[in-house]
Amino acid sequence: MIINCEKCASKFNLDDNLIKESGSKVRCSVCRSVFTVYPRMAEEVDSDAEPEETVDLDSSLGFEEESLSNEPGPGNADDFDRVFEKVLNEDEEIIEEEKPVTEALPASVKKKTVRPGLILIILVIAFVVILGALSVYLFAPALLPEKADNQKKPDSETEAVDEGNRRLEFVDLKWETFTGETSGDLFIIKGKIINNYPQPRSHILVKATIIDDKNNPVAEKSAYAGNTFTENELSDISLEEIDRKLNIREGENRANVNVAPMEAVPFMIIFNNLPESMSMYDLETVSSAPGE
């Protein structure tokens, strides 16, 4: 009789005597599908009908192309029965769908995944470092190396020489007027100077300029830091004595010598007989020397 494969519908010849009443397992040699053949599945075909193709059964079940002839001999029938018996005694074969194989990429081409937590830690560290550097630059410049104050050097022809005034800072500025018995009417500018250099500085010199209402300078005086007066001292002191004391380089009690980094030293500049057109004053640091 002619048997049709249940999966691919291929046809092959099989002797009726080889099929048991309880059914026999066969395997299609075309699609490798295993199915059970029962006697009732046999179909009569016209004598002039040709099967599509005579297909070998799988060799593991003992079928060869010759054994599937329309006129099997006795030996072939015995062999065929023995093979069927062996197959029927085995557990039913379960054919699972083949799983796609995922080939692992070599280590050299595997994508590296960066954990978000690591990125966050790096960003926090970078933020802290930048914030710390900015704080030092703004609030404690004395801690920076002196070369870092101006990384870009000007051309040799226009190179500015630091006279020791670039990193001196005025604080607590105020002005007042005072009338002395000997000195007359005085205009006093006073405050403190902070040394922002990383090394001690000495002989800090400052200058004040009086400007009138037309923005013209009308008076100018310089004085060394560390020299100050009390009101009692100003009451009976002459202008010559005031100028002499304000020009002592070391300052009173050497207050203007070896001024430590971030340390403040007081200063005072005194004018007399100022014009009524006075409008404002300008203050600047002139120079300083390295500490001894």
Q: Give the domain CATH number at 204.
A: 2.60.40
Whether 113 is covered by a domain: the verdict is: no
119 falls within a domain: no
Asked whether residue 100 carries a pLDDT value surpassing 80, the answer given is no
Instruction: Give the total residue count for the chain.
Output: 292
The helix or strand, by DSSP H or E, that contains position 279, with its residue range, turns out to be strand 278-290
Sign of the C-alpha dihedral computed for residues 210, 216, 217 and 218 taken in this order: negative
Answer yes or no: is 50 within a domain.
yes
Question: How confident is the model at residue 44, as a pLDDT?
Answer: 43
- Nearest-10 Cα torsion for 188, 194, 199, 201: 0
**Residue that terminates a domain, selected from 89, 112, 135:** 89
**Are residues 84 and 173 both part of a single domain?**
no
> Could you read off the pLDDT of 198-246 as tens digits, one per residue?
999 999 999 999 999 899 999 999 999 999 999 889 988 999 999 999 9
Task: Please calculate the CA angle 82-85-87 and round it to the nearest 5 degrees.
Answer: 110
Check residue 151 and give its pLDDT.
52
Place of tokens 């380089």: 249
Alpha helices in 165-274 (DSSP H): 231-235, 239-246
Report the range of poorest mean pLDDT among 33-47, 202-216, 247-261: 33-47
For the chain, percent helix, then strand, then coil, each to nearest 5? 25, 30, 45
Domain boundary among 68, 89, 110: 89
Put the strands of the sheet holding 217-224 in their side by side order.
217-224, 201-212, 278-290
| 162 within some domain | no
Domain co-membership, 172 together with 85 = no
pLDDT for position 40: 61
Range of the structural domain that residue 54 is part of: 2-89
Report how far apart the first and last C-alpha atoms of the chain are (Å, whole number): 122
> Which of 63, 89, 115 is the last residue in one of the domains?
89
Q: For residue 159, what are the CA distances in angstroms to 76, 151, 155, 213, 268?
A: 112, 13, 5, 35, 32
In terms of Cα–Cα distance, which of 90, 79, 88, 6 is closest to 41?
6
- State what percent of residues in the chain have pLDDT above 90: 37
140-182 pLDDT tens trace: 766 666 554 455 455 444 446 888 899 999 999 999 999 988 8
- pLDDT confidence of residue 208: 95
Neighbour count for residue 272 (Cβ, 10 Å): 17
* pTM assigned to the model: 0.49
- Please state the domain count of the chain: 2
- Gyration radius (Cα) of the chain, Å: 55
Contact between 269 and 221 (Cβ < 8 Å): yes
pLDDT at site 33: 84
Residue 283 predicted with pLDDT over 80: yes
d(C-alpha 191, C-alpha 264), whole Å: 10
For position 135, what pLDDT does the model report?
82
pLDDT at position 182, please? 86
